[in-house]
Amino acid sequence: PLNKNDFIYVENVAKTFVAAADMNVPSGIYNLGSGYATSVYDVCKIVEKQLENLDSLSEQILKKGQPDETVNFWADMKKTERALNVNYDTGLEEGIKQYISSMQLKEVL
C-alpha cells in the first residue's frame, strides 16, 4: 500500500493524445502523468472517503500490507509540457470523484 505511482485522470490522457495528434512534434518518448507520486494507500483513502466517508478499510490495508515503500514512480513531464503545452485541470481527488460519479450513473442506467 505504500508503493507510489503517478496516477492521472483518463480524460487528461485523452486530451493529451488529441493535442499530440493535432501538432507536429518531434519523434521521441514523451512521459504522460501528473508529475507526482501518490501511494496506493492514499488513493484507497480518497476513494473510501468519497464512497463511505470512512477510512477503516484503508487502515486495515495499511496494517496488513508490506510495511515499506519499494516503488516510487512519477512522470517527468518537462519534455511533454514543452512540446505539447499541456495543462491538466483535473487533479487526483477530482478525477476519482468524477470516475465514481460515472460508475454510479452507469448503475442507475
Contact 25, 79 (CB under 8 A): no
SS (H, E, C) the chain: CCCEECCCCHHHHHHHHHHHHCCCCCCCCCCCCCCCCEEHHHHHHHHHHHHHCCCHHHHHHHHHCCCCCCCECCCCCHHHHHHHCCCCCCCHHHHHHHHHHHHHHHHHC
- Is residue 107 predicted with pLDDT exceeding 80? no
Task: Note the pLDDT tens digit of each residue in 72-104.
Answer: 999 999 999 999 988 888 999 999 999 999 888
**Residue 92 confidence (pLDDT):** 94
pLDDT value at residue 72: 94
Q: What is the pTM of this model?
A: 0.79
The whole-number pLDDT of residue 85 equals: 86
The model's pLDDT over 7-64, given as tens digits with 9 standing for 90+, comes to: 999 999 998 999 899 899 889 999 999 999 999 999 999 999 998 887 788 888 888 8
**67 CB-side CA count, 13 A:** 0
